[in-house]
Amino acid sequence: MSQEMNPIQGMYANVDDQTGVRCTVTMSDVSVSVYKEVNLLVFNAFQAGKAFARIAQMTGTTIDRDQYNQDITDLTLAVEKTQKTTMYLRSGNKVVTYVAKQPVQNEETGFLELSPARKEWWMDNPHIGPIVTSLREYLPNFSPWHGQNDDYISLFSKKSTLL
């Protein structure tokens, strides 16, 4: 095999302690890759359902409980089997990527969206974006890309593996 390999398509990934970093990695840079299926949100629909009354009070609006339960269930199912890939590079850096259902390509840059710390990872994914959009209709500013810093996610659970 030739030493000169095509680079992996550019990506937004988590590099070392930084999230959503724009980078390009060639296969020859990678010494070891570890693949793991993770549940990106460490809360389930039941836990989020228990927070319904607090959330309805917090928003000050009437929320359809059935729609809320359906959207939360759909969101947790959409990200419960997220493929996490940790690439250890020969340089000593560590690149971590996440794919839920399918990778999403950023239309402007052509780079893959592989960091859930980026809004585009959520909103541009055809399996996840519509669910988040629906939730944002009655949960103003719902932003799962903020992880535990999102007001709603912090009500659902004490832990999140997002960031």
pLDDT tens digit string along 115-137?
999 999 999 999 999 999 999 99
pLDDT at 85 over 60: yes
12-54 tens-digit pLDDT: 999 998 999 999 988 888 999 999 999 988 777 888 888 888 8
Mean pLDDT for the chain?
Answer: 87
* CA-wise closest residue to 15 among 84, 82, 88: 88
- Check if the beta carbon of residue 131 is closer than 8 Å to that of residue 33: no
> Domain extents for the chain?
11-156
pTM for the whole structure: 0.85
In angstroms, the CA 137 to CA 36 distance is 33
- Between 156 and 146, the higher pLDDT residue: 146
